[in-house]
Structure 1
Amino acid sequence: MNIAQIKQIDLVDYLRAIGFSPTKESAKSAWYRAPYREDRTPSFKVNKDKNLWYDFGTAQNGDIIDLAELLYKSKDVSRLLKLIENAAPALAPRVRTPISPNGERLTDQFRNVKVVDLNHEALKSYLQSRGIDLNIGECECKEVHYACYKKEYFAVAFPNIAGGYEIRNPYFKGCIAPKDISIIRKADRLKRDCCCLFEGFMDYLSYLTLVKLGRITEGSETPDYIILNSVGNISRGIEPIKKYEVIHCYLDNDDAGRRVVDTLQELLGSKVQDMFAAYPLYKDLNDFLRNKKKI
C-alpha cells in the first residue's frame, strides 16, 4: 500500500490489531493509554471521524504514520509503511464518507450494486468474529458487491422493507438507499401477538444466535421481528409496532435506546416491555453474546 492508502486504515482497527484496546469508546472517539509510553491515566484520543489522534499528555498529534514513528522509533517512511502493513495485514483502507448523527456512514456514490447469496469467506469470518452463528447469518443475510469512488468493495447486506440494504464489513458501516426499517415475519398468521424490536440487524442476528444457544428463551410461538436500522427510524416503526399485543424491546442499553423505549411506552402503554434486564452489564445484544461487558 502507498502513503494515501495507509492513511485510510482506521486507527481504532489498527490499534486493536497490534494489541491495544480503548479504555473508553463512543461513536466519535476512543481513548487509550498512550501505546508508545507509560501512561497511567488514558490520555491518548482517536478522533474517529477525522482518523487522527492526539496525546493530551505530550501535546503530540497526527495520523497513522505519525503514530508509527513513535511506536517503531523511526522516521524512514518506507520502513514505516511496511511495518504498519506487516503488523496488521488483514486491515484494508477504509472509504471515509460523511457520518450521520448516529455514527453511520452515508454516501450516494454506490455504483454497480450486485446482491448475491452470502458466500464470501471473509464475510463469513466477519460474522463469526461477532459471535454470529454462521447458519443464521447465511439464512438471514446477503452479500453485496458495489463500486464506490471508482473502487470495488463487498459487504454483508441486510434488506429493509423499501428495497435498500444495511451493509457491514469489518471496516465499513453504511446503507444502500433507500433507508428504512426491516420486518421479518416467521409465521403466516393474521393475529399479531408478539414482536421483538431491535436497533440494528447485528442485534437481531445476535438474538437468534442467543436463542439457538439457549441463553435467551422465546415463548412457545415464534414472534415477528422489527429492526429499526437506526433509532432515528422510530417514527417509521410506530405503525407496524402498534399492531402487536406485546412488544419486547431489545435495544441498545444506553441513553438513546432507553429514550426509544420510553417513547414507545408513552404511546402504547404497558404492552411495550423493556428487555434490558436480560443484558444489564452489556451495551447491546452482540456484546452480551460475546461477553464483552461495558467498562
Structure 2
Amino acid sequence: MKGINMESMKRFPIEDFLARLGHHPVQRSANAVWYRSPYREEKTPSFKVNPEKNLWYDFGEGKGGNIFALAGEFIRSGDFITQARYVAEVSGMPLPEHETRRSSEMRQASGKSFENVEIFPLQNRALLHYLQERGILSAIAIANCKEMRYTTHGKRYFAVAFGNGGGGYEIRNRFFKGCLPPKDVTLLAYGSASCNLYEGFMDYLSARVLGIGNGEDHLVLNSVSNLTKAYRLLDGYGKLQCHFDNDEAGRRTLEALRTRYGGKVTDCSGLYGGCKDLNDYLQKTLVERQAWRENEKKGKNNGIKL
C-alpha cells in the first residue's frame, strides 16, 4: 500500500483510537488501561490496553492484537485493507493511494447496495471530528444530523446522515459522499416568510454556525438537479435568500429561481466571494480567527480588532 507508512498507522495509540469512538477507561495501572469492552456489552471491565506496546486483549472473548485487529472487531471484518481503511477514518490519517482509488469507485456506486442500514443519533467521535474539521460545531451537527451505519459490497461503514423530505438520506464521511434513496430536498420550516436556500447540507450547517437565517426557514436542495422538486415548497415565500456555490451550476440555479420568482430572489454569494461555497468560507474564517488570536497573544495585532 503506497502513500502512507503503515507502521505509523499501526503505532496510532489505541487509547486515542477508542477515545475518538467514545470509549474511555475505567481504571489505570502502571502498564495497563482497563475498559468495558467497546464492541460488546459487559458490566465488569475485561478489556485491557497496554499503552507501551500499543496492544489490546479482551479477556472476556479471549482475543487481542494490534489496532488493525481491534478495527476488525468494530467492523466485523478480517480483511486487512478494510481494517486499515477504518483506522484511517477514525484516526484522521490519509488513505493510501490504493484506498483513494477505491473511494472514488464507491462514489460512482452511490445509491447502490445499501444493506443492513441502521440510523442512530449522531455520536460517533470520528464523524464529529470530521465535521469539526469542516468548521461544524458538534452541537449543531447533532441537532441536525443522524448517524448511519450500513453495509455495501459486503463491508460495513458509517457516515453522517442528513434526512430529506422523501425519507432518504444524504450521507457523508471523510471518504465518501452519496445518498440513500429516494433523493429529495429538505425543508426546515419555522413559520417564516423568508427562506434560505443551499445546494448541500454542509452549507446549511455552515450557515447555522455563522448565524445566517436565525429564525427563518431553510431549504437544502441536496443537488441542484432537485430544483423543480422545491418549487411547490417555495411558491408561498415572500423572500428567497440563495447561498449557492460560486460556480456555473450555482449561477444557473440562481437564474432559474429569478425567472420564476423575480424580485423575491436575493443572491447572498457576495458574503463568501472568492470562496467555492459557504463551507469553504466558514473554514477560512475560522483559520483567520485562529491566526488573529495567536497574533494577539504575541502582541502583533497592534490593537486591531477582528
The CA deviation string for residues 160-189 of structure 1, in whole angstroms up to 9 with x for no partner, is 01110000000000001111111111x2x4
Partner of 1:206: 206
Q: What does 1:270-285 align with in structure 2 at a 5 Å threshold?
A: 270-285=263-278
Partner of 1:77: none
More helix by share: 2
Partner of 1:258: 251
Runs (5+) with no aligned partner, structure 1: 10-81, 100-104
Whole-Å separation in 1 of the counterparts to 2:182 and 2:93: 31
2:154 paired with 1:161: no
Whole-Å separation in 2 of the counterparts to 1:273 and 1:250: 9
Q: Which amino acid aligns with 1:197?
A: L
Runs (5+) with no aligned partner, structure 2: 5-83, 286-306
Whole-Å separation in 2 of the counterparts to 1:108 and 1:280: 36
Q: CA deviation at 1:98?
A: 5.6
Partner of 2:220: 227
Match of 1:124 among 121, 128, 144: 128
Whole-Å separation in 1 of the counterparts to 2:206 and 2:107: 27
The CA deviation string for residues 263-294 of structure 1, in whole angstroms up to 9 with x for no partner, is 100111100111111111111000110118xx
What is the TM-score of this pair, normalised by structure 1? 0.62
SS class of match (2:284): coil
SS class of match (1:289): helix
Whole-Å separation in 2 of the counterparts to 1:241 and 1:91: 41
Whole-Å separation in 1 of the counterparts to 2:123 and 2:107: 29
Partner of 1:175: 179
Whole-Å separation in 2 of the counterparts to 1:182 and 1:169: 19
Q: What does 1:81-96 align with in structure 2 at a 5 Å threshold?
A: 90-92=93-95, 93=99, 94-95=102-103, 96=105
Q: CA deviation at 1:107?
A: 3.0
Greater CA radius of gyration, 1 or 2?
2
Q: Which amino acid aligns with 2:274?
A: L
Whole-Å separation in 1 of the counterparts to 2:205 and 2:92: 28
Cα RMSD (Å): 2.5
Aligned-residue sequence identity (percent) comes to 41
- Asked whether the 8 Å contact 2:187–2:218 carries over to 1, the reply is yes
Q: Which amino acid aligns with 2:257?
A: L
What is the TM-score of this pair, normalised by structure 2? 0.60
Whole-Å separation in 1 of the counterparts to 2:167 and 2:274: 35
Q: What does 1:1-295 align with in structure 2 at a 5 Å threshold?
A: 90-92=93-95, 93=99, 94-95=102-103, 96-97=105-106, 99=108, 106-185=110-189, 187=190, 189=191, 192-211=192-211, 216=212, 218=213, 222-291=215-284
Whole-Å separation in 1 of the counterparts to 2:207 and 2:267: 15
